[in-house]
A and B are shown apart, each in its own frame.
Chain A
Amino acid sequence: MTAINYSEKIPNNVNLSEDRTLQRALEHWQPNYLQWWNDMGPEGSQNFDVYLRTAVSVDPQGWAQFGHTKMPDYRWGIFLNPAEQDRKIHFGDNLGQDVWQDVPGEHRANLRRIIVTQGDTEPASVEQQRHLGLTAPSQYDLRNLFQVNVEEGRHLWAMVYLLHKYFGRDGREEAEALLERNSGNADNPRILQAFNEKTPDWLSFFMFTYFTDRDGKFQLCALAESAFDPLARTTKFMLTEEAHHMFVGESGVGRVIQRTVDAMNQLKTDDVAKLRAAGVIDLPTLQRYINFHFSVTIDLFGADQSSNAATFYSSGLKGRYEEGKRTDDHVLKGNTYKVLEVQNGQLIEKEVPMLNALNEVLRDDYITDSKGGVDRWNRIIEKAGIPFKLTVPHKAFHRNIGALAGVKVSTDGRVLSDSEWNTNVNAWLPTEQDRAYVASLMGRVVEPGKFANWIAPPVMGVNRQPVDLEYIRFN
């Protein structure tokens, strides 16, 4: 790989060509990355020309360059948002001091753990989605999947850059390990359980990009407040790409709903069997998928009370969502926050020190944001004149982490006995039959401008291109 000109091959705004140590580290890592991409990236698609967006700089004109390119040739770059002059730490015990341009020794282990955990999710989702290309409902959707994949790959680069640049040998070892763990691998799984689950079908993919990539957004937002300036600047730029992923989810589910309500109006029925016979995904099934993905995703925010969360905050490693826009003292020593727990068969709210409840704070911000999109889906249903409302389930529903782990709670927040739960669970979570039905709809549609029967076309194409553009050249 000596022929590669790294300053050209890797678009960057970190003066890569002037940092020999870093360049050598990346020279060593890059072939392993490409090998991983070939082994674990989108299956059977490496030779396609895909209409991709590539960032070549961080200014508005530079970061959305569109063109057909083969995915292994995608220019995975390293971008940090421009430095803010004299930026100060704006929360925690070091409030008001200069931000760190290097890793302070006492926070080294925690920062490395945060970066590795974030970095691990990026290749994990590429692995989870690697078979989806075989059942894409259209070229447009296939292109969006690949865009999400290459950008998750770029986010891995962003984290690996930090590990290589600031963490010396441990960092390089962690960067290798990011390529060695694999989603769902029994011997060497990904760190977070949600990233070891399969993404078996496109409805799951859309739900995943809506709900789980939104968790990514909130984690990145919290890290974008960090006192470790390179981490803050890296994650800020990643957020611009994360927006596309949530768009794929929100518009994808929206288009499924659109197709379903159109069919309901055509057939003048809300009968699930008739709608399934017509090949569309009924609204109750969509609701069950929402319940599943929402509950699995809010687990990702961690335990409701966590001393780690308090440490990360007080030491300035990780802020709250939109920390800079909040008006409290940003130290939070005397503040409290309400978390849920079960007492005597009832869910009750308990006041706890806010510092320990910061995972819960982030989770609640996430829940508010998620509900917004579900409301927008409801407008599609409303517009079609159909009396049905999608909702997100209660925060305590189907939880596996924290004080609520394993407690049986209904979607509307009632604590249940095991038998009540067992009676109703099939109405709340996708059943084997639901998943089998959705799987049966998955067939590959690749003719430009054509869409699978279960999903409506988008209102516009990518980058203001027509919907029937040849987004993929299969060669």
Chain B
Amino acid sequence: MSATAELFNQHLIDPEICIRCNTCEATCPVGAITHDSRNYVVLADKCNFCMACVPPCPTGSIDNWRMQAKSSPYTVEEQLSWDELPAALTDNELSAVASAGNGESAEQALAFVSPSQDNEALAQVKALVSASVGSTVPPWSAAHPFTNLYGPKEPITATVVGNVQVNDAGTDNETHHIVLDFANLPFPVLEGQSIGILPPGSDEQGRTHHARQYSVASPRNGERPGYNNLSLTVKRVIEDHSGNPVKGVASNYLCDLKLGDKVQVIGPFGHSFLMPNHPKSNIVMICTGTGSAPMRAMTEWRRRQRNSGKFEGGKLMLFFGARTQKELPYFGPLQKLPKDFIDINFAFSREQAQPKRYVQDFMRERAIDLAELLKEANTYIYVCGLKSMEEGAILALRDVVTEHGINWETLSQNLKKEGRLHLETY
């Protein structure tokens, strides 16, 4: 099992440096920052790491991060009581936290760390978390994105014009393809950007629901080319990370929408997880479940470009993981894409009478072809899906590269600097 599946990098504000100016709270597009008379703090369950609060902070106190157990983040009450940030957890403390993980998340996690190796592996993985390898800049040929056009105070209203299930009915992971139309109002998006949905109603404390973020699954010129619409890939959440039954507020709201229903939307968000647009650029896509949304968007844009006959794309390579084939979204349409257009590798972890296979297993299996692509300066890599997959995918990348005589340190630095490795996991 993975000791790391339970960890995440928690966003915190340093109370010793913060001057309580309220700029972050006023800036945050998803309402993830709150305060009392003593401190300003970040709500771990709301922060979506969009980084909108970081540049406006006059002090730099906003830019603090601590590895922490996902199941027990520092609570708002704890943070409000601080006079200074707590010390970072030691590796031993982290592995103690991690090994307190439970069955369901271990299932979802990746089998590359045995419990006896916890400490060493943990150190490795910590060195590899998204903050250290993921790009914060877009590819040089990315189109310029529009961001934050609509906030929670003045959302845009979209109309539902499509809602279909895109995996087999009756599976545990019911996944919907939902199309939203914006009529005559501007809502320009690029592949890889995301939007926020404001579910109606309020939570138990009577506060209105905060926005939930979804990646756009359609290309820039619309789900239907030439129309002002976009699509989302939404999994109906019926249990939490620990397997306890829980009804996801936004996902159930979205999956139950009828044609003609109105939805409050904010965004767009995201200015670096964007696709390259220059000829012959290659795209490697690694995803699980609904993490396929941006991959579908990029693939579809390349497909439309190719059909226009005016654009010479590079290679597309997809590693796509799900528990079973029946659960995998878009399985049918993906099968129909020409082999010379995209190289597809499905990994199923719970197919009956078959060994468990994860995306990183397939990446290692396809090491020769993957390494060929990674040697090219024109190759851009995108990872989207469960957090637990991210570390596995990066370790697999590192191993594939190293086996083929490429220095990972140098390569990963270049990937980061040149906007060629993009991570979006949750």
Is A bound to B?
Answer: yes
Residue A247, interface by CB 8 Å: yes
Against B, the Cβ 8 Å flags (1 = close, 0 = not) of A223-256 are: 0000000000000100110111011001100000
CB < 8 Å neighbour of A373 from B16, B19, B37, B83: B19
- B58 near A61 with CB under 8 A, answer no
CB < 8 Å neighbour of A64 from B16, B37, B55, B59: B55
A–B Cβ pairs within 8 angstroms, 18 of them: A59-B147, A60-B55, A82-B151, A217-B21, A239-B22, A239-B26, A240-B26, A240-B56, A246-B19, A246-B21, A247-B19, A247-B59, A372-B20, A372-B37, A372-B38, A463-B60, A464-B60, A464-B63
User: How far in angstroms is the closest Cβ of chain A from B252?
Assistant: 28
The tally of CB-CB contacts under 8 A between chains A and B is 69
- B53 near A60 with CB under 8 A, answer yes
Taking CB atoms and an 8 Å cut-off, the chain A residues in 80-100 that contact chain B are 82-85
- A244 near B83 with CB under 8 A, answer no
Q: How far is the CA of A242 from the CA of B63 in the complex (A)?
A: 20
Q: How far is the CA of A240 from the CA of B52 in the complex (A)?
A: 13
Residue B207, interface by CB 8 Å: no
- A244 near B147 with CB under 8 A, answer no
Residue B148, interface by CB 8 Å: yes
Query: Known: A84-B154, A372-B37. Contact between A60 and B19, CB under 8 A?
Result: no
Residue A460, interface by CB 8 Å: yes
- A84 near B55 with CB under 8 A, answer no
User: How far in angstroms is the closest Cβ of chain B from A146?
Assistant: 15
- A60 near B21 with CB under 8 A, answer no
Residue B183, interface by CB 8 Å: no
Query: Known: A60-B52, A60-B53, A64-B56. Contact between A243 and B19, CB under 8 A?
Result: yes
Residue A108, interface by CB 8 Å: no
User: How far in angstroms is the closest Cβ of chain A from B47?
Assistant: 14
Which of chain A's residues have a CB closer than 8 A to the CB of B21? Answer: 217, 242-243, 246-247
Which of chain A's residues have a CB closer than 8 A to the CB of B271? Answer: 61
CB < 8 Å neighbour of A243 from B53, B55, B58, B151: B58
Q: How many residues of B contact A (CB 8 A)?
A: 27
Q: How far is the CA of A84 from the CA of B38 in the complex (A)?
A: 30
Closest to B27 in A: A60
Residue A379, interface by CB 8 Å: yes
User: How far in angstroms is the closest Cβ of chain A from B107?
Assistant: 38
- Please classify how large the interface on chain A is, using the bins under 10, 10 to 19, 20 to 34, 35 or more: 20 to 34
- Name, among A243, A244, A373, A460, the residue most crowded by chain B CB atoms within 10 Å (CB to CB): A243
Residue A63, interface by CB 8 Å: yes
- B63 near A60 with CB under 8 A, answer no
Known: A240-B26, A243-B23, A379-B83. 16 other contacts (CB 8 A): A60-B27, A60-B53, A60-B55, A60-B147, A82-B151, A85-B154, A217-B21, A243-B21, A247-B21, A251-B17, A251-B59, A372-B20, A372-B37, A373-B19, A460-B17, A464-B63
- A84 near B153 with CB under 8 A, answer yes
Against A, the Cβ 8 Å flags (1 = close, 0 = not) of B59-85 are: 110010000000000000000000100
Taking CB atoms and an 8 Å cut-off, the chain A residues in 128-154 that contact chain B are none
User: How far in angstroms is the closest Cβ of chain A from B242?
Assistant: 34
Which of chain A's residues have a CB closer than 8 A to the CB of B23? Answer: 239-240, 243
Closest to B146 in A: A59
Which of chain A's residues have a CB closer than 8 A to the CB of B16? Answer: 376, 379, 459
Closest to A460 in B: B60
Which of chain A's residues have a CB closer than 8 A to the CB of B59? Answer: 247, 251
Q: How far is the CA of A239 from the CA of B17 in the complex (A)?
A: 19
Closest to A64 in B: B55
Residues of B within 8 A of A (CB): 16-17, 19-23, 26-27, 37-38, 51-53, 55-56, 58-60, 63, 83, 147-148, 151, 153-154, 271
User: How far in angstroms is the closest Cβ of chain A from B198?
Assistant: 15
- Name, among A59, A63, A82, the residue most crowded by chain B CB atoms within 10 Å (CB to CB): A59
Closest 5 CB pairs of A and B: A243-B21, A60-B52, A64-B55, A244-B58, A247-B58
Which of chain B's residues have a CB closer than 8 A to the CB of A250? Answer: 19
- Name, among A236, A460, A463, the residue most crowded by chain B CB atoms within 10 Å (CB to CB): A460
Which of chain A's residues have a CB closer than 8 A to the CB of B60? Answer: 460, 463-464
Q: How far is the CA of A61 from the CA of B51 in the complex (A)?
A: 9
User: How far in angstroms is the closest Cβ of chain A from B286?
Assistant: 27
Query: Known: A243-B21, A250-B19, A372-B37. Contact between A61 and B154, CB under 8 A?
Result: no
- B37 near A82 with CB under 8 A, answer no
Against B, the Cβ 8 Å flags (1 = close, 0 = not) of A376-398 are: 10010000000000000000000
Query: Known: A84-B153, A246-B21. Contact between A59 and B63, CB under 8 A?
Result: no
Which of chain A's residues have a CB closer than 8 A to the CB of B147? Answer: 59-61
Which of chain B's residues have a CB closer than 8 A to the CB of A251? Answer: 17, 19, 59
Which of chain B's residues have a CB closer than 8 A to the CB of A246? Answer: 19, 21, 58
Closest to B54 in A: A60
Q: How far is the CA of A191 from the CA of B195 in the complex (A)?
A: 48
- A82 near B56 with CB under 8 A, answer no
Q: How far is the CA of A244 from the CA of B52 in the complex (A)?
A: 17
Q: How far is the CA of A239 from the CA of B151 in the complex (A)?
A: 18
User: How far in angstroms is the closest Cβ of chain B from A320?
Assistant: 16
Closest to A65 in B: B55
Taking CB atoms and an 8 Å cut-off, the chain A residues in 440-475 that contact chain B are 459-460, 463-464
Q: How far is the CA of A37 from the CA of B59 in the complex (A)?
A: 27
Q: How far is the CA of A463 from the CA of B38 in the complex (A)?
A: 25
Q: How far is the CA of A244 from the CA of B22 in the complex (A)?
A: 11
Q: How far is the CA of A350 from the CA of B232 in the complex (A)?
A: 61
User: How far in angstroms is the closest Cβ of chain B from A255?
Assistant: 12
Which of chain B's residues have a CB closer than 8 A to the CB of A376? Answer: 16
Q: How far is the CA of A242 from the CA of B20 in the complex (A)?
A: 12
Q: How far is the CA of A83 from the CA of B37 in the complex (A)?
A: 29
Which of chain B's residues have a CB closer than 8 A to the CB of A243? Answer: 19, 21-23, 56, 58
User: How far in angstroms is the closest Cβ of chain A from B312?
Assistant: 32
Q: How far is the CA of A368 from the CA of B20 in the complex (A)?
A: 12
Which of chain B's residues have a CB closer than 8 A to the CB of A460? Answer: 17, 60
Q: How far is the CA of A300 from the CA of B52 in the complex (A)?
A: 34
Against B, the Cβ 8 Å flags (1 = close, 0 = not) of A43-86 are: 00000000000000001110110000000000000000011110
CB < 8 Å neighbour of B17 from A85, A217, A373, A459: A459
Q: How far is the CA of A247 from the CA of B20 in the complex (A)?
A: 9
Q: How far is the CA of A246 from the CA of B55 in the complex (A)?
A: 17
Q: How far is the CA of A84 from the CA of B147 in the complex (A)?
A: 17
User: How far in angstroms is the closest Cβ of chain B from A149?
Assistant: 15
CB < 8 Å neighbour of A61 from B19, B38, B55, B63: B55
Q: How far is the CA of A14 from the CA of B26 in the complex (A)?
A: 21
Q: How far is the CA of A373 from the CA of B56 in the complex (A)?
A: 20
Which of chain B's residues have a CB closer than 8 A to the CB of A247? Answer: 19, 21, 58-59
Closest to B21 in A: A243
User: How far in angstroms is the closest Cβ of chain B from A474?
Assistant: 25
Which of chain B's residues have a CB closer than 8 A to the CB of A236? Answer: 26
- B148 near A59 with CB under 8 A, answer yes
User: How far in angstroms is the closest Cβ of chain B from A375?
Assistant: 9
Which of chain B's residues have a CB closer than 8 A to the CB of A372? Answer: 20, 37-38
Which of chain A's residues have a CB closer than 8 A to the CB of B20? Answer: 369, 372-373
User: How far in angstroms is the closest Cβ of chain A from B163?
Assistant: 27
Q: How far is the CA of A372 from the CA of B37 in the complex (A)?
A: 8
Q: How far is the CA of A239 from the CA of B148 in the complex (A)?
A: 19
- A82 near B19 with CB under 8 A, answer no
User: How far in angstroms is the closest Cβ of chain B from A389?
Assistant: 15
